[in-house]
Structure 1
Amino acid sequence: MRTLWLKMGAIFAVVYLFAVLSPATSVSFSYVLLTTLLIGLPFWAGDKMVLPHLQNAVASVLDGVYAFIVLWIAAMLAPLSTVTFWYLVLTSLAIAGFEYFFHPMVFNLRNYKKKGARL
Structure 2
Amino acid sequence: MACFITPLALGLSIALIKRFFKNMAERVKLTILEITLLGGSAILAVEHIWRGEVVPYPPFLTAMSNPADIPVMINEMTIVGGLMSLASTTPWLTILLYNKVGLSMRSVMKKAVLNLNK
User: TM-score normalized by structure 2?
Assistant: 0.41
Larger radius of gyration: 2
User: TM-score normalized by structure 1?
Assistant: 0.40
